[in-house]
Structures are given as structure tokens and as C-alpha cells.
């Protein structure tokens, strides 16, 4: 037990004598930036937006305002063709907004020379405009003209 106490006390003494040497000098310590105090009900200040961020936010905001206007016009409408037409219009506005968003991404990516991002965004646009056709179920047979005629279908 005495060996343990002797070893632990010597380690503690060595640590205490070396620790101040390892710590940086007082003039080298950088002050920690304090967080800004935000009053309740307000938001914290944001860093300045880049031109790309401003353009992307503008596209998103425009689409959101269009969708909000369509949704308000749908309020109180009975189920029917008018309501379904407005629902399709909302879907089209959202799709157009997504395409515009990606086109802005392509434009800014090309300007900064980021061809990989531009190509990826262009591929996403292509997938939106030309969605892949769903694969048929495994084992399903395509119906032939002869089979339709035999079944009495045109």
C-alpha cells in the first residue's frame, strides 16, 4: 500500500509541477467571443447572404406565395373538378418552383466553376421533366394485341 501511495503522490507532484508549463501564457490566451443577447420575441442577426442564397430564397418565396394563394382559393370549395384542377395547379407550381430553384443552382455553380454540382442539378431537372417509367412487376407479362382481341377488348 505504501508503494501505491508513494507512486501516486510522485505522479501527482510531477503533474502539478509540469501542468503550469504546459498551459499557455496569459497573454497568449484568446478571449472567448460572447454570444449576442437576443431580446425575447426577436430573432438573432444573420450573417449576410450571398447572391446565390438571395436568388434561391427569392425563388422559394415566390413559389410559396403562389401556393398559398391557390390554397386560399381552394378553401370552402366542394369536392369536384374545380378543386381537383386547383390541386393540379398547386402541384404544377411546386414542380416549376423546384425546376427554377435547380436552374438557379446550375447558373451559380457554372459561374464559380463547380461543374459537378451543375451537372447534378441538371440531372435532377431532367428527372423531374422526364420521370422514369415504373418497372413492371416481376413475372408480369405484357398484354399482347392478340390476347386483348381474344378477351374482347379493343
Q: Is residue 62 one of the residues assigned to a domain?
A: yes
Q: Is residue 12 one of the residues assigned to a domain?
A: no
Instruction: For residue range 131-143, list pLDDT tens digits in order.
Output: 888 876 666 666 6
Q: What is the pLDDT of residue 34?
A: 66
**CA-wise closest residue to 120 among 112, 109, 133:** 109
Q: Is residue 114 one of the residues assigned to a domain?
A: yes
Instruction: For residue range 25-73, list pLDDT tens digits in order.
Output: 555 666 666 666 667 777 767 788 889 899 999 999 999 999 999 989 8
Alpha-carbon distance values, 68 to 21, 76, 97, 126, 147 (Å): 64, 15, 13, 27, 49
C-beta neighbour count of 154 within 10 angstroms = 4
Q: Is residue 19 one of the residues assigned to a domain?
A: no
Domain coverage including residue 88: 51-129
Q: Is residue 96 one of the residues assigned to a domain?
A: yes
Q: Is residue 146 one of the residues assigned to a domain?
A: no
Number of domains in the chain: 1
Q: Residues 98, 99, 100, 102: is their CA dihedral positive or negative?
A: positive
Which three-class secondary structure state does DSSP give residue 113? Answer: coil
> Taking the complete model, does pTM exceed 0.85, yes or no?
no
Q: Is residue 65 one of the residues assigned to a domain?
A: yes
Q: Is residue 93 one of the residues assigned to a domain?
A: yes
Amino acid at each position: 500500500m505504501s508503494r501505491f501511495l508513494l507512486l501516486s503522490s510522485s505522479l501527482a507532484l510531477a503533474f502539478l509541477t509540469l501542468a503550469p508549463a504546459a498551459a499557455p501564457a496569459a497573454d497568449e490566451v484568446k478571449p472567448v467571443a460572447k454570444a449576442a443577447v437576443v431580446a425575447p420575441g426577436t430573432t438573432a442577426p444573420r450573417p449576410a447572404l450571398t447572391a446565390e442564397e438571395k436568388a434561391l430564397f427569392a425563388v422559394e418565396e415566390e413559389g410559396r406565395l403562389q401556393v398559398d394563394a391557390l390554397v386560399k382559393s381552394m378553401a370552402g370549395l366542394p369536392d369536384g373538378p374545380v378543386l381537383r384542377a386547383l390541386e393540379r395547379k398547386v402541384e404544377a407550381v411546386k414542380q416549376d418552383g423546384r425546376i427554377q430553384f435547380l436552374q438557379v443552382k446550375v447558373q451559380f455553380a457554372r459561374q464559380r466553376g463547380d461543374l459537378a454540382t451543375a451537372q447534378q442539378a441538371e440531372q435532377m431537372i431532367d428527372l423531374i421533366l422526364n420521370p422514369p417509367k415504373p418497372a413492371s412487376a416481376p413475372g408480369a407479362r405484357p398484354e399482347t394485341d392478340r390476347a386483348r382481341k381474344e378477351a374482347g377488348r379493343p
